[in-house]
Structure formats: C-alpha cells, structure tokens
Amino acid sequence: MSFHSAKETMEPAPNTLPTYNADDLTKGGDQAQIVLGDQTYTLRITRAGKLILTK
C-alpha cells in the first residue's frame, strides 16, 4: 500500500488584527481600564507577567 501526499505551500496569513503592547495600555504601570459598551473591565499585569481581565 502506498500513500502520496501533496505538499502544499501554505503561507501564514498576515496579522490583520489590531495589536497593542500591554505596557503601552498600562502606561508603564500594571493596570488599565477597558470600556466595552456600558461595562468597564480592568486589565492587570501580574508579577509573573501574565494578563488578567476582570469585570
């Protein structure tokens, strides 16, 4: 039994999503507020360098 696999050249799609630096959002601090509609969320950078988004 033999199998043939067609090699496809797949190029990654260019990043079309808006990209933001967390340090820019927090202006060098560790928290920022993000508003969506009538809700305000808090973005926090932890000491371990992780992001937490809370309502």
The domain spans of the chain are 22-54
Cβ atoms of 34 and 43 closer than 8 Å: yes
Residue 51 has pLDDT above 70, yes or no: yes
The average confidence (pLDDT) of the chain is: 88
Cβ atoms < 10 Å from Cβ of 33: 10
Maximum Cα–Cα distance across the chain: 62
Instruction: Label residue 28 left, alpha or beta by phi (over 0 means left) and psi (-120 to 50 means alpha).
Output: left
Paired with 54 in beta bridges are 42
pLDDT exceeds cutoff 60 at 1: no
Q: For the chain, give the number of residues.
A: 55
Q: What is the DSSP letter of 51?
A: E
pTM of the model: 0.68
